[in-house]
Structure 1
Amino acid sequence: MHESLEVIVRTISAVFMLFFLTKILGKRQVSQLSFFEYITGITIGNLAAYVSLDTDKTWHLGLIALIVWGAFSLGIEYLQIKSKKARDFIDFKSTVLIRNGKILEDNLKKEKLTTDELLEELRKKDVFKVADVEFAIMESDGAVNVLLTRENQPLTPKHLGIKVAPERETQAVIMDGKILDEPLDTINLSRSWLQDQLEKQNLTVENVFLGQVDSYGELTVDLYADSVQVQQPQDKPQLYALLKKCEADLELFSLSTQNKEAKQLYGQCSEQMQRLLQRLKPFIQS
Structure 2
Amino acid sequence: MDLFLKIIIQTIIAFFAILFLTRILGKQQIAQLTFYEYINGITFGSIAATMATDTSQKIWEHLTGLVVFAILTGLMSYISMKNRIAKKIINGEPVIVIQDGKILEGNLRKMRLELDELMAELRSKDIFSAGDVKIGIIEPSGEISALLKEEFMPLTKKDIGIKGDSKGINIELIIDGQLIYNNLQDIGLTAKWLIQELKKQKVNGIKEVAYASINDKQELYIDLYHDNIKDMIDASDEEIPFSMNTIGKKK
Is 1:113 matched with 2:113?
yes
Do 1:29 and 1:41's aligned partners in 2 also have CA atoms closer than 8 Å?
no
- Taking the TM superposition and a 5 Å limit, the aligned residue runs for 1:191-206 are none
1:61-112 residue CA offsets vs partner (Å, 9 max, x unmatched): 1100000000101100000100111111011121111001100011111112
Deviations 1:1-39 (A, max 9, x none): 111111101101101111111111112165521222112
Q: Distance in 2 between matches of 1:50 and 1:156?
A: 56
Give the structure 1 partner of residue 88 of structure 2.
Answer: 88
**CA RMSD of superposed structures (Å):** 3.1
- Counterpart code for 2:79: L
Aligned pairs (5 A) from 1:1-286 = 1-28=1-28, 32-155=32-155, 182-183=239-240, 186-187=242-243, 212-213=244-245, 215-216=247-248
Tell me: higher relative CO, structure 1 or 2? Use CA pairs within 8 A at least 6 residues apart.
Answer: 2
Distance in 1 between residues matched to 2:127 and 2:91, nearest whole Å: 27
Select the structure of larger CA radius of gyration.
Answer: 1
Deviations 1:142-180 (A, max 9, x none): 0001000112223379x979xxxxxxxxxxxxxxxxxx9
In 2, distance between residues paired with 1:79 and 1:5? 41
The code of the aligned residue for 1:186 comes to F
Shift of 1:216: 3.5
Q: 1:50, 1:59 within 8 Å by CA — same for their partners in 2?
A: no
The CA deviation string for residues 161-202 of structure 1, in whole angstroms up to 9 with x for no partner, is: 9xxxxxxxxxxxxxxxxxx9954x525xxxxxxxxxxxxxxx
The alpha-carbon deviation at position 57 of structure 1 amounts to 3.5
Q: Name the SS for the 1:47 alignment partner.
A: helix
User: Residue 28 of structure 2: SS of its match in structure 1?
Assistant: helix
Q: Which whole-Å CA distance do the structure 2 matches of 1:37 and 1:181 have between them?
A: 30
Q: Structure 2 length normalisation: TM-score?
A: 0.63
Alpha-carbon distance in 1 for matches of 2:246, 2:115: 43
Distance 1:44 1:131, change over 3 A: same
Whole-angstrom distance in 1 between the partners of 2:150 and 2:7:
61
Helix, strand or coil at the partner of 2:32: coil
In structure 2, runs of 5+ residues without a counterpart are 164-236
- TM-score relative to the length of structure 1: 0.56
**Contact between 1:29 and 1:37, CA under 8 Å: does it hold in 2?**
no
SS at match of 2:98: strand
Kindly provide the amino acid, as one letter, of the partner of residue 94 in structure 2: S
Deviations 1:191-230 (A, max 9, x none): xxxxxxxxxxxxxxxxxxxxx548435xxxxxxxxxxxxx
Residue deviations 1:242-261 (CA, integer Å, cap 9, x gap)? xxxxxxxxxxxxxxxxxxxx
1:149/1:69 CA distance change after superposition, 3 Å: same
What is the aligned length?
177
Distance in 1, matches of 2:246 and 2:142, equals 35
Decide whether the 8 Å contact of 1:51 with 1:63 is kept in 2. yes
Are the aligned partners of 2:31 and 2:141 in contact in 1 as well (CA < 8 Å)? no
Counterpart in 1 of 2:205? none
Q: Counting helix residues as a fraction of each chain, which structure ranks higher?
A: 1
How far apart, in 2, do the equivalents of 1:7 and 1:134 lie?
57
